[in-house]
Amino acid sequence: MHRRDFLGLVGVGALAAVGPDAALGGLPTSNVTLTISPVVVELTPRLAITTTGYNGTSPGPVLRMREGVPQIVDVINNTDVPELVHWHGLRIPPEVDGAEEEGTPPVPPHGRRRYHFTPTPAGTRWYHTHTMAMNDLHRGSYTGQFGFLVIESSGDPGHYDQEVFLALRDWEPFLTDQMIDADALGQQWPQTEKPQTTDSRPNGLEVTAALYSINDKALGAGEPIRVREGQRVLFHLLNASAIENRTIALPGHRFQVFALDGNPVPSPQGVDQVLLGPGERVDAYVDMNRPGVWILGGVENDVRSSGLGVVVEYANQQRQPEWFPPSRSPWDYTIFGNQVRSPSRTSSGADDVETIDLVFEKVPRAYAPFNGFLVNGQPYPHEREFVLHRGRKYRLVFRNRTDDAHPLHLHRHSFELIEIYGKATSGIIKDTVVVPNYGKAVVQFVADQPGPTLFHCHIQQHMDYGFKALFRYA
Ligand SMILES: [Cu+2]
């Protein structure tokens, strides 16, 4: 379908019968059952797609679990292929984490499997399939198998008037060699990892999409988010895409970001736009103090008009939803961290910290027609895995020698971001970080979760074609 045809179908302002809330009511959870089966997602009243989802919907239900309270989750697989449910951002054992590389047993086709785990840490997590897709764009994270998971603590959640969960998605992916680089991070960074001569071989086919939604609705097709002047709205934002980093904004409003990947940050800050790599979450308050009808959506015009948005409507306001571009202030993780004066802290192998260098490279058309990726010169699996010693502190130096920004995810652990864009920081705890093209990031973590631990790029095609590694405990 041509993008223009799709625009005609959506028609900002059209209303669908079922709003996003229908799919997102919280479940009481001492026990949870997730049923994997084919679903129909009505992106607009006139355009539906078929995919695979949880409990008859995509996104799946917002799951709420209590931190530290043991949980039983039953997964029923009503599809013809083995499946895995990964609990993203949780510190849980490899047998239940949901990665085959770590040894989690898959849920067999038309079978079921019971998981026992004790959810921790508190915060905005999510759950999603972790199967390989390779060249099948109807498998893995290209499907609708994802949902929010909130791990609740006894801590004070702070004051807000309503809570809104927004998952960014793209649909009906296809392959192209005309990838438009959407990785304009706005941020300036030293390209310390750029090789003297860059690879000039033609690029392989990459996955892209031209159809987007927030939760299960394209812009204008679902119920608006209804607000009143003076309200404080708590937004949980997730990029559930398999393919692309995204930047979103709400014109005339600021996102007061207080948590990254579900973990409170040392310096909450207001920002005009939020960048999310696949897998990342941002929690933010928005004070509703500019009455009108607005589009909360992707900053790229073609992406937003192809569905990536939702209408925010103040009470007693009737007009066409408005959009204007946010200020061009770049996304910068470090503004949410503690100020660190000496960047040398990150480069010298100080104290009791062991440094592991991870060099990422792309090999154009290594798996023709697709690109391949190398971690320290080798695609997965590595002959000798990276070995961790329990209780020891590690510093991972991500050296991105490719022309893409990659969202890098470490399973079953949280890490502290200590350097990015050539700036030192501290106190930002994450599980996924977008490392800019030809740039470097440094993270630090304590090896306190024994068992095999998967590390990978959260872009499905990159992971499938080599961009992953396994850490083992000695
Ligand atoms: Cu990647």
Q: Give per-10-residue mean pLDDT for the chain (474 aa).
A: 36 32 42 96 97 98 95 96 98 98 97 96 98 97 98 86 97 87 64 88 94 98 97 98 96 97 97 97 98 97 97 96 90 94 53 93 96 95 90 98 96 98 97 96 98 98 97 95
Span from the CA of 203 to the centroid of ligand 1 (angstroms): 14
Q: How far is the CA of 205 from the centre of ligand 1 (A)?
A: 14
Distance 312 CA to ligand 1 centre (A): 32
Sign of the torsion angle spanned by Cα atoms 259, 263, 265, 266: positive
Tokens encoding 400: 């991105």
- Please give the structure tokens belonging to residue 110: 């038309």
Residue 371 CA to ligand 1 centre (angstroms) = 11
Which of 408, 335, 338, 352 is CA-nearest to residue 375? Answer: 408
What distance in angstroms lies between residue 393's CA and the mean position of ligand 1's atoms?
25
What spacing in Å lies between the alpha carbon of 131 and ligand 1's midpoint? 16
- Between CA 455 and CA 223 the distance in angstroms is 38
Instruction: Please tell me the distance from the alpha carbon of residue 6 to that of residue 210, in angstroms, as a whole number.
Output: 9
Measured in Å, residue 402 CA sits from the centre of ligand 1 at: 9
**C-alpha of residue 459 to centroid of ligand 1, in Å:** 5
CA of 130 to the centre of ligand 1 (A): 15
Interval between CA 474 and ligand 1 midpoint (Å) = 28
**CA 434 to ligand 1 centroid distance, Å:** 9
State the Cα–Cα distance between residues 180 and 187, nearest whole angstrom.
18
Question: Residue 26: what pLDDT?
Answer: 47
β-partners of residue 374 are: 361
Cα-to-centroid distance, 149 and ligand 1 (Å): 24
Whole-number Å distance, alpha carbon 456 to ligand 1 midpoint, is 8
CA of 68 to the centre of ligand 1 (A): 33
Nearest-CA neighbor of 459 among 276, 193, 189, 327?
Answer: 276
> What was the pLDDT predicted at 424?
96
CA of 299 to the centre of ligand 1 (A): 21
Q: Cα(177) to centroid of ligand 1, in Å?
A: 16
How many Å apart are CA 306 and CA 212, to the nearest integer? 6
Residue 47, classed as helix, strand or coil, is strand
What is the Cα Rg of the chain in Å? 21
Q: How far is the CA of 154 from the centre of ligand 1 (A)?
A: 36
Six-digit token pair at 455? 């590390």
Residue 467 alpha carbon to ligand 1 centre in Å: 7
Residue 458 alpha carbon to ligand 1 centre in Å: 6
Query: H or E element: which one contains 155?
Result: none
Distance 190 CA to ligand 1 centre (A): 19
Could you tell me the distance, in angstroms and rounded to a whole number, from the CA of residue 428 to the centre of ligand 1? 22
* Separation of CA 372 and ligand 1 centre (Å): 10
Q: How many angstroms does the Cα of residue 102 sit away from the middle of ligand 1?
A: 20
Ligand 1 centroid – CA 277 distance (Å)? 10
Which CA distances in Å does 155 have to 57, 120, 151, 286, 354?
A: 31, 14, 11, 21, 34
> How much distance in Å is there from the Cα of 400 to the middle of ligand 1?
10
Please say whether the dihedral angle defined by the alpha carbons of residues 203, 277, 425 and 358, taken in this order, is positive or negative. negative
Q: How far is the CA of 18 from the centre of ligand 1 (A)?
A: 35
Tokens coding 256 = 């007061």
Torsion of CA 73, 78, 79, 82, to 10 degrees: 40
User: Helix, strand, coil % (nearest 5) of the chain?
Assistant: 10, 45, 45
What separation in Å is there between the alpha carbon of 341 and the centre of ligand 1? 31
How far is Cα 278 from Cα 297, in angstroms, rounded to an integer?
16
Q: Is the peptide bond before 381 cis (omega within 30 degrees of 0)?
A: yes
114, 70 contact by CB (below 8 A): no
CA of 249 to the centre of ligand 1 (A): 24
Q: Let me know the angle formed at the C-alpha of 70 by 140 and 100, rounded to the nearest 5 degrees.
A: 25
CA of 407 to the centre of ligand 1 (A): 6
Q: Return phi, psi of residue 464, to 5°.
A: -65, -30
Q: For residue 192, how far is its CA from the centre of ligand 1 (angstroms)?
A: 18
User: Ligand 1 center to residue 93 CA distance, Å?
Assistant: 25
- Distance, in Å, from the CA atom of 422 to the CA atom of 188, rounded to the nearest integer, reads 9
Taking the centre of ligand 1 as the mean of its atom positions, its distance from the CA of residue 180, in whole angstroms, is 15
Return d(Cα 282, Cα 235) in angstroms, integer. 8
The number of residues in the chain equals: 474
Report whether 209 contacts 171 (CB < 8 A). Answer: yes
Residue 39 CA, distance from chain mean position: 22
How many whole angstroms from 121 Cα to the centroid of ligand 1?
A: 26
Distance 405 CA to ligand 1 centre (A): 7
List the shell of residues around ion ligand 1, using CB closer than 5 Å: 406, 457, 459, 462
